[in-house]
Amino acid sequence: MNTISSLKNVILIGIDGGATKLSGWAVEFNQDTQLFRLGNLNIQKKYSDYHGYNENFKPVDIKTQLKEMNAQILIAREEKVQAEIYMKAAADVTVKLLQANKNKKALIGIGMPGLKTKDLRGISAIANGPRMPAYCDFLEDKIYEQRLELLSPIAHLGSDADYCGLGEEYSENGLFRNIDNAYYLGGGTGVADSLKLNGKLVRFDQAKHWIAKAWEMKCDNGNSLEQYASASGIQKIYSHYSKTSIQDLNRNQIFPMQILEKALKNDKAACTTINEVGKYIAELIFERITTIYSGWSGIFSFLNPNREMLAMEHEYRGILLERIIIGQRLGDLLLQSRGTELLWPQIMEGLCEMIHTTGNEKLQEHYLRNGKFHEEIIQISNLREAPALGAGIDAYISHNKY
């Protein structure tokens, strides 16, 4: 990896923007190892803490958003107010990080959900928030208003999925390191997929003709796979079965960890939720294993019925994964379930059964041990803030390209 000649007077900032809050970290680079890690400085801002925030905000219909992407984006006052709160949170986080590092110039990477504008510096379509086509311009203006400095303009907005992959590849504790073939599944507010094949990171956007993102696929019950792989989705499923509002669950701090605890105490709604999560996580991992090895077989259907069908042929056929990494809050949940009778053993049993049914000796030899799924292949990432770390890494790499 190329390096900036000196990081002495530079603060590398990684920002992870989610649906409810924004988190910014100082990212440190080790010149000797050429690896990265999070620093000790972290600033977070909840959008709901800002005056004027609309908790009942409804995004513009996604079809309208997609239509306006390539024309003029028409933003009404309500959406504009919400957008400014999101962008102000990013500015406040960045300014505070810079003010804590006086006399340093900032190099900033930002991961945000949604489809990006043509220049990649704004958001032109997003399912669960306001559109922000001038995101980077707004942020830079606020930085300059405070008489703070940038080492270079913000190169682009990235995706948390790509940034999870970068974090796992270039972090001191990354699980993509020192192996050639791995799949990463991270679950937080949404779901993030990353791939490393034949020793290189493979972006899902580059491979979309043969493999689909988890959020694009739906289960046989009609729900999106994202419902079962993300913390917010799991909470939503429990809300449905327990007939408890999300607001009440949040108020009582009932999140996936607590839902698992309830299931272990035989709470009916929690048991149904965790059983479904185990079933569909196993099916998703199996789909990844087989799609990479032998091509798409149609295990899932697509949320978008007009999505182009996946090709069976691709350049990575025949690859056996050395590692399957589960990260973020989904990783925490699976880790907590180890040693219990729920979730982790359900996933292992489901995978074992499905691998057996393929009748493929190579798959069975690689993924099974003594008639059970080879558990060591699945590892839990401890990079809880992988998206923010990856954002900082991306800013570093982008700067050194020029």
**Virtual torsion, Cα 374, 376, 380, 386, nearest 10 deg:** -100
Residue 317 located in a structural domain:
yes
Do 186 and 290 lie in one domain? The reply is yes
Do 136 and 243 lie in one domain? The reply is no
Do 210 and 335 lie in one domain? The reply is yes
Residue 1 located in a structural domain:
no
d(CA 104, CA 24): 16
Do 80 and 224 lie in one domain? The reply is no
Do 209 and 354 lie in one domain? The reply is yes
Do 256 and 347 lie in one domain? The reply is yes
What pLDDT sits at residue 190? 83
**Residue 214 near residue 223, CB atoms below 8 Å:** no
What domain range is 45 assigned to? Answer: 10-161+386-400
pLDDT tens per residue, range 19-71: 788 999 999 988 888 899 999 999 999 999 999 999 889 999 888 898 898 78
Do 126 and 191 lie in one domain? The reply is no
The helix/strand/coil state of 401 is coil
Instruction: For residue 218, give the H/E element and its range.
Output: strand 217-218
Inter-axis angle of helices 231-242 and 328-337, nearest 10: 60
Inter-axis angle of helices 328-337 and 344-358, nearest 10: 100
Residue 5 located in a structural domain:
no
Inter-axis angle of helices 328-337 and 256-264, nearest 10: 20
d(CA 367, CA 179): 16
Do 243 and 301 lie in one domain? The reply is yes
Residue 34 located in a structural domain:
yes
What pLDDT sits at residue 7? 66
pLDDT tens per residue, range 82-124: 999 999 999 999 999 999 988 899 999 999 988 899 999 999 9
Classify the phi-psi angles of 178: left when phi > 0, otherwise alpha if psi is within -120 to 50, otherwise beta.
left
- CB-neighbour burial class of residue 155 (10 A; exposed 0-12, middle 13-18, buried 19+): buried
pLDDT at 401 over 80: no
pLDDT tens per residue, range 288-344: 999 999 999 999 999 888 888 999 999 999 999 999 999 999 999 999 999 999 999
Do 317 and 339 lie in one domain? The reply is yes
pLDDT tens per residue, range 184-226: 999 987 889 999 999 999 999 899 999 999 989 999 999 999 9
Q: At a CB cut-off of 8 Å and minimum separation 6, what does 261 contact? A: none
How does DSSP classify residue 150? B
Number of domains comprising the chain: 2
Q: How confident is the model at residue 2 (pLDDT cuts 50, 70, 90)?
A: very low
Residue 166 located in a structural domain:
no
Percent of the chain surpassing pLDDT 70: 98
Q: At a CB cut-off of 8 Å and minimum separation 6, what does 380 contact? A: 325, 326, 327, 331, 332, 334, 335
Among 56, 53, 74, smallest CA distance to 64 is for: 74
What CATH number corresponds to the domain at position 20? 3.30.420.40
CA 215 vs CA 63, 118, 349, 374: distances in Å: 17, 23, 24, 26
| Residues 220, 215, 20: CA angle, nearest 5 degrees | 125
What pLDDT sits at residue 402? 58
Residue 167 located in a structural domain:
no
pLDDT at 3 over 60: no
* Beta strand pairing call for 182-187 and 191-197: antiparallel
Do 103 and 17 lie in one domain? The reply is yes
This prediction's pTM: 0.90
The helix/strand/coil state of 295 is coil
Do 100 and 246 lie in one domain? The reply is no
Residue 168 located in a structural domain:
no
d(CA 94, CA 154): 12
pLDDT tens per residue, range 377-397: 999 999 888 899 999 999 999
Do 142 and 215 lie in one domain? The reply is no
Residue 3 located in a structural domain:
no
